[in-house]
Structures are given as C-alpha cells and as structure tokens.
C-alpha cells in the first residue's frame, strides 16, 4: 500500500497537459477542487466525471497510476460512507433500521457525494504532480505568490519548501518500505492482527524513518550550499514561463466546467 501513493511522483511526457504552463495547471487544480464543493447533485458530477476522464486521457498518464493513488484511501472512503449513512438524519421513515441505527435516503445521497468528492480530489491533485516536474511546480508557485512579496511574504522560499515536501513524499514512502522489509527479515510482523495492532506494530518504524528524514534533509541542504544556492533574489532561469494559446484554452475549458456546475445547481 505504501508504494501505491502517487502524490509527488512525476511521469515525463509530451502531452497537451504536460506542456501547459505550471501556473495554469495550479490554478486549474484549485478551481477544480472548489468546483467539487459547488456541485450538489449527480447531474453536476456527470460533467465533472467527463472532464476528469478526458483530462486523464489527454495527459496520457496510465490509468494504473490513478488507481494506485486511490487504493490507500479505500478504508477512508468506507469509514466516510458509513459515518454519513448512519449519522445523517432525514424526513419520513428510514429505509433501514436496526436497533438504534437508522438509514435515510438523505444519508445515502450525502455518502455518495462525499465518496465522489474524495475520489476526484485525489485524482485531481495526483494528476497535477504526475504531469508537472518539481522545478516547474516551484517556478509556478513562486510566480503565483510573487504579488504577496509586497507585504513581506517570501514567495520563493515558500514555493521551494512546498515543492520539496511534495517531491519527498514518494522518497519517504520508498524509505519506509525498505525499513519495513528490513525489520520483517528480522522477525517483525506488520500484517497479522486487527487494524489497531497493525498500527501499534508500525511504531518501531518511526525512529529510523525520522533519522533517515533528517539525514536526507541535511544532505539536501549541503548540496544546495555546495551549488551556491542563496534564495530567489537575482536568480535566473533556463526556461522562462510564458502563457500560450493552449494555456488560455485550458482556462476557458475549466471555467466552462464551473459554469455547468453552477447551472446544475439552479436547474
């Protein structure tokens, strides 16, 4: 399951979405996430589903990566669905009742909405990192945060920290997998027992994982200093970000999705 986490990974490619300006992709992702919470009926989610599937096809990212990104949240989806089903009241008689547990139509609908939102939320964020390199993400975030420099916000440093954090997610997952295999070779058991015992058995992983994380952070800092890294002031870039026709077209298509979602709320 640890290897199934895809957030932070990058798949090189030359698709339409790969070539988009990173600023546009970040803004599209934010608008996409906001749009998920604007939709309040299944008609709206039909448009969101079509938009998402088309985006995945255009990006040429294999569907297996999208599925791998969803596997770690299956348990979270089940828990979310059960909580919404049994904790949401409704009008009229319940569809199902057993002792104090009651299931209403409103609870089933809300559970369906929450599952769909979580799934699309993971898919949207995964698609951003799968089609955007860490350097592009840094440049895009810095450009978007530049207006806030007037109030003293260190835009370059914030963008660098956020990108490094995303980039090291798959690295830490690989490190966790190696530590687990090393401890299993010494007799540790991470697979038997209930969910609580499995969680308790993961505690011995924390110490070596923290030590490895601090060591990697120190090595990264030393490598940046050895290359005379001094922050964003006076830095030049090999590739200058420039908006093109495809970027404007992508923004228009995303805004059309928002308009359709708002339309489904009123009709």
Q: What is the pLDDT of residue 3?
A: 54
Domain boundaries, the chain: 2-188+240-266
Chain CA centroid to CA 171, Å: 16
DSSP three-state, residue 82: helix
Position 6 scores a pLDDT of 61
Give the Cα separation of 124 and 121 in Å (integer). Answer: 5
* Res 54: pLDDT: 92
Q: Is the pLDDT of residue 35 over 80?
A: yes
- Cα–Cα distance for residue pair 1/146, rounded to 1 Å: 38
pTM score > 0.85 for this model? no
Mean pLDDT across the stretch 43-65? 88
Per-residue pLDDT tens digits for 217-226: 888 888 888 8
| Residues making up the chain, counted from first to last | 267
Cβ contacts of residue 16 below 8 Å, gap of 6+? Answer: 58, 59, 246
Tens digits of residue pLDDT in 191-247: 676 666 666 777 777 788 888 888 888 888 888 888 777 766 666 666 777 888 888
């Amino acid at each position: 399951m640890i290897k199934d986490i895809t957030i932070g990974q990058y798949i090189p490619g030359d698709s339409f979405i790969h070539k988009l300006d990173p600023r546009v992709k970040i803004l599209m992702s934010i608008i996409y996430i906001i749009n998920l919470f604007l939709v309040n009926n299944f008609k709206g989610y039909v448009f969101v589903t079509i938009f998402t599937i088309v985006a995945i096809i255009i990006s040429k990212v294999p569907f297996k990566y999208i599925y791998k990104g969803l596997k770690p949240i299956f348990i979270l989806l089940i828990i979310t669905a059960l909580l919404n089903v049994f904790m949401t009241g409704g009008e009229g008689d319940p569809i199902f009742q057993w002792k104090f547990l009651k299931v209403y139509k409103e609870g089933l609908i809300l559970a369906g909405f929450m599952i769909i939102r979580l799934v699309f939320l993971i898919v949207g964020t995964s698609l951003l990192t799968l089609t955007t390199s860490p350097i592009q993400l840094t440049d895009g975030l810095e450009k978007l945060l530049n207006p806030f420099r007037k109030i003293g916000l260190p835009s370059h440093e914030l963008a660098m920290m956020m990108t490094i954090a995303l980039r090291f997610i798959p690295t830490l997952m690989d490190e966790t997998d190696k530590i687990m295999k090393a401890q299993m070779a010494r007799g540790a058991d991470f697979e038997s027992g209930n969910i609580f015992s499995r969680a308790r058995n993961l505690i011995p992983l924390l110490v070596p994982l923290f030590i490895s994380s601090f060591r990697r952070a120190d090595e990264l800092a030393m490598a940046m200093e050895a290359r005379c890294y001094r922050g964003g002031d006076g830095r030049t870039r090999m590739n200058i970000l420039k908006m093109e026709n495809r970027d404007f077209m992508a923004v228009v298509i995303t805004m059309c999705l928002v308009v359709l979602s708002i339309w489904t709320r009123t009709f």
